[in-house]
Structure 1
Amino acid sequence: MTWLPESLRNLRRDVFFLVLLGVAILFAVAMPARIASWPSLVDWPTIAALAGLLILTKAVEQSGALAHAGRWLIDHTPTRRLAALGLVGATALLSMLLTNDVSLFVMVPLTLSMCRIARIPAMRLVIFEALAVNAGSMLTPIGNPQNLFLWQQWGIGFGGFVWQMLPVVAIAMALLLALTAVAFPGTPLEVHEHVDSGLDRAMLIVGAVLYIPFLFLADAHHAAWGLLGLFVAFALFRRKVLAAIDWGLLLTFVLMFIDLRMLAGLGIIRQWLGALDLHQPLHLFATGALASQVVSNVPAAILLAEYSHDWRTLAWAVNVGGFGFILGSLANLIALRLLGEKRAWGAFHAWSVPFFVVMAAIGALLL
């Protein structure tokens, strides 16, 4: 098994993946005749787009550019409040372009390092960065997996998607930045040590040059061709980028499509969801936001997409559903896992649940 990429070997300890695998096995035993149709249940354009983004973001991460920028930020901010606003804002901005989970993998280790250098409370700042990626990633179709799925599923233009998401994102970001300003003091920031950060300019340039063409191809529903181009380019230029990709995440999404679309086809599920009258925007919004609290927002998006074509309301619902309980978004789990403090779970909910309640109320009013 040592020849497998590390991300695939780690699946043996990934509870979420094992649950999905167990559900797939149950469906295979209960409905063996349906196994042949499983590949058709997977939204392959979404998988191709996600794989391409993972390659590009891994290249940017390994170039050292983001770590370089973060260290510059710490060196040029005079107070803890401004440092927190800068890191939270940068995390939200990155999540719009590099997806929410990748932004956390870059920003949280950087933040922990910077907090040790500048003596900023790390736990609260990482919690706010988790809120930031959920808020920022709402804006673009490449910001998070649920948006990527909805974008590919309904063929929405990139600009049109951003325009429809802008009102709820603007409110979420304004609320988050105001909360950050209140939560962190304006005391002077003292940097006690300096850390040099290397920068692989060649990798950064290649990643930046390939990023825009890939987005255009994905927007034109040719993500598979874009993925092929990226794979060839990095196989020739920096093979280590391909080796570092989280292939296990892609396999998890394949299983998610199979399980949830099989589940959506069951008579009892159709009857239950049909009784919720999901053609009503407020009903769809409430169902999506609350379902996200239980099964996470990506599965909620995939499941409810089988019952409604109102993509904007569904997008608002599952994105707002990323706040609240930790299961609302996988990004929440990633942030606290990287932080590594058990007491952070209670602190996270103390900030995130009220934020969810307020955003859910605002979203319902906007609808």
Structure 2
Amino acid sequence: MTANHTAAAQTWRNRIKQEFLLLLFTALSVMLACVDPQPWSRYQGWLQWPTLCGLLGLMVSIQGIRDSGLVQRVAGMLVARMHSLRGVGLLLVSMTAMLSMVLTNDVSLFLMVPLTLAIASVSNLPILRMAVLEALAVNAGSTLSPIGNPQNLLIWQHAQIPFFRFLGALLPAAAAMFALVAAVTWLWLPKGRVELQADKLDGHPVSASLAVLSIIALATMVLMMEGGHAPLGALLLGVPFALFSWRTLKCIDWLLMATFAMIFLGLGHLASLPIVEHAFGEIDSPLSLYLTGIVSSQLISNVPATVLLLDRTPDAIALAVAVNVGGFGVAIGSLANLIALRLAKQPHGMQLFHAVSVPFLLVCGALVYLLTRLQA
């Protein structure tokens, strides 16, 4: 083995050692496979191939937009027109929340976090704080829409709730969540003015061909995901990038994809265990449902929690409120949290996220419950 191969292997070993969640959920998946072996078809279902393919397609598209230099150019234009850090922060979290209502929470983050990183690269905007705030913002914004996140889509389709009735029922909870996010943004970001680093504003040439290819790929991927054809969409957009922008594919965070695969596999298997299913049973009390939705989301993430609770309660709207609130708190409460932190790639991100998100869950949980009881 050459010195270059040895160095590359050592680099990969060091990277994997830093992947705490990947190692944790790989160990969980292996342990469950040993103590509760299942047919291969069940493992395929738990892996959620359409979701993984959709994430891969989004990552390729956004990496292409980033490589084209377009996001850096837009960032320079945007920040040049803003004056205060708090103003920039409120604009970004508002855009993130609004996009999550129509493009889903993960698509919103794949668009907004790179833009935020680009703005931070030419100014004094605090990157990690904004990544945490944008994770909170997508959880708040996507709560309102039946297509804003996977748990809402599951509940909406399962309960056959009219679109606008769903919007009206979730509006108080979503409004309270976003008001809290806006308040945290205003209080947490520095009061100062945006300080531009002028030498970095004009150093980003734009590749128009790569930008157009990437934007078309992103729009195509979103449409294919909406139509239930995410694997085909990922395959189709992989071809032009392999032919014309191989560097984009090389820059994809493949360890993030592996982490999500292991999370889906481990949590899916865990949620299907008879002892776990029996622990929930039928839930009739509004407070019991609310607390169960939040706590189970903290333990197994809010999408598996939704699947587990969907047939155990007659109140689909109350379940939607509970699991959306459960997206705050610990990072695995919502996969959007992990996406935001991973895209930001900042040291100590997980610690800062929990220092903000756990207290946020406690305040938000109490406030939203009071609002829903008044609404009832």
TM-score category by the smaller chain?
0.7 to 0.9
Rounded to whole Å, the distance in 2 between the matches of 1:340 and 1:301 is: 32
Distance 1:148 1:361, change over 3 A: closer
- Of 13, 23, 28 in structure 2, the residue corresponding to residue 23 of structure 1 is 28
Pairwise CA distance, 1:73 = 2.2
How is 1:171-182 mapped onto 2 (pairs within 5 angstroms)? 171-182=176-187
Counterpart of 1:76? 81
* Alpha-carbon contact 1:130-1:332 (below 8 Å) kept: yes
C-alpha deviation, 1:76, in angstroms: 0.7
Q: Secondary structure of 2:198's partner?
A: coil
Counterpart of 2:117 in structure 1 is: 109
Query: SS where residue 99 of structure 1 aligns?
Result: helix
1:232 counterpart = 2:233: no
Compute the RMSD of aligned alpha carbons. Answer: 4.3
- Deviation, 1:230, is 1.3
The size of the alignment, in residue pairs, is 360
Q: Please give the alpha-carbon distance, in whole angstroms, between the structure 2 residues aligned to 1:329 and 1:309.
A: 24
1:255 paired residue number: 262
Residue 266 in structure 1 maps to residue 268 in structure 2: no
Q: Verify: 1:214 aligned to 2:221, yes or no.
A: yes
CA offsets per residue over residues 68-116 of structure 1, 9 Å max, x none?
22222221112333222223334445656453653575255335434xx
Q: What is the rounded CA distance, in whole Å, between the counterparts of 2:279 and 2:347 in structure 1?
A: 39
Note closer, same or farther for the CA distance 1:121–1:241 as it changes in structure 2 (3 Å cut): closer
Deviation at 1:299, TM superposition (A): 4.8
Deviation (angstroms), 1:226: 1.8
Report the Cα distance in structure 2 between the residues aligned to 1:61 and 1:261, rounded to whole angstroms: 33
Report deviation, 1:206.
1.5
2:21 aligned with 1:38, yes or no?
Answer: no
What is aligned with 2:230? Answer: 223
- Give the match for residue 92 of structure 2: 87
Letter in 2 for 1:213: T
Aligned residues with identical type, % of pairs: 30
Post-superposition Cα deviations, 1:109-151, rounded to whole Å, max 9, x if no partner, equal: 335434xx34x5666545433422333344567766x459848
CA–CA distance in 1 between the matches of 2:61 and 2:147?
Answer: 12
1:293-352 CA distance string (max 9 Å, x none):
344435544554585697655444333222234553455465497443588467525863
1:361 paired residue number: 369
**Residue identity matched to 1:289:** I
Aligned with residue 107 of structure 2, among 99, 107, 119? 99
Name the amino acid aligned to 2:93.
Answer: V
Partner amino acid, structure 2, of 1:60: I
- Tell me which residue corresponds to 2:136: 131
Question: 1-side partners of 2:219 and 2:314: how far apart?
Answer: 29
Shift of 1:163: 4.4
Kindly indicate whether residue 373 of structure 2 is the aligned counterpart of residue 348 of structure 1: no
Q: Is the 8 A contact 2:298 2:327 kept in 1?
A: yes
Q: Secondary structure at the match of 1:39?
A: helix
Is the alpha carbon distance of 1:13 and 1:234 closer, same or farther for their aligned partners in structure 2, counting shifts above 3 Å? same
Whether contact under 8 Å (2:270, 2:276) holds in the other structure is yes
- Distance of aligned partners of 1:185 and 1:112 in 2 relative to their CA distance in 1, 3 Å threshold: closer
Preserved CA contact (<8 Å) 1:127 1:335 = yes
Offset, 1:225: 2.1
Select the residue among 43, 47, 55 that pairs with 2:52.
Answer: 47
Where does residue 205 of structure 1 map in the other structure? Answer: 212
Unmatched segments (≥5 aa) in structure 2: none
Q: Given that residues 108 and 338 in structure 1 are in contact (C-alpha distance below 8 angstroms), is that contact kept between their aligned partners in structure 2?
A: no
Kept in 2, the 8 Å contact 1:48–1:224? The answer is: yes
| Correspondence 1:324 to 2:329 | yes
Whether the 8 Å CA contact 2:92–2:112 is kept in 1: the answer is: no
Q: TM-score, normalised by structure 1?
A: 0.75
Indicate which of 44, 64, 70 corresponds to 2:69. Answer: 64
Deviation at 1:15, TM superposition (A): 1.9
Moved more, 120-129 or 251-260: 120-129
Query: Mean Cα displacement is larger for which, 189-198 or 71-80?
Result: 189-198
* Distance of aligned partners of 1:165 and 1:25 in 2 relative to their CA distance in 1, 3 Å threshold: farther
Alpha-carbon offset, residue 246 of structure 1:
2.9
What's the CA shift for 1:209?
2.0
The structure-2 alpha-carbon separation of the partners of 1:62 and 1:305, relative to structure 1 and needing over 3 Å to count, comes to farther
Contact 1:99–1:143 (CA<8 Å) still a contact in 2? no
**CA distance in structure 2 between the partners assigned to 1:227 and 1:8 by the alignment:** 28
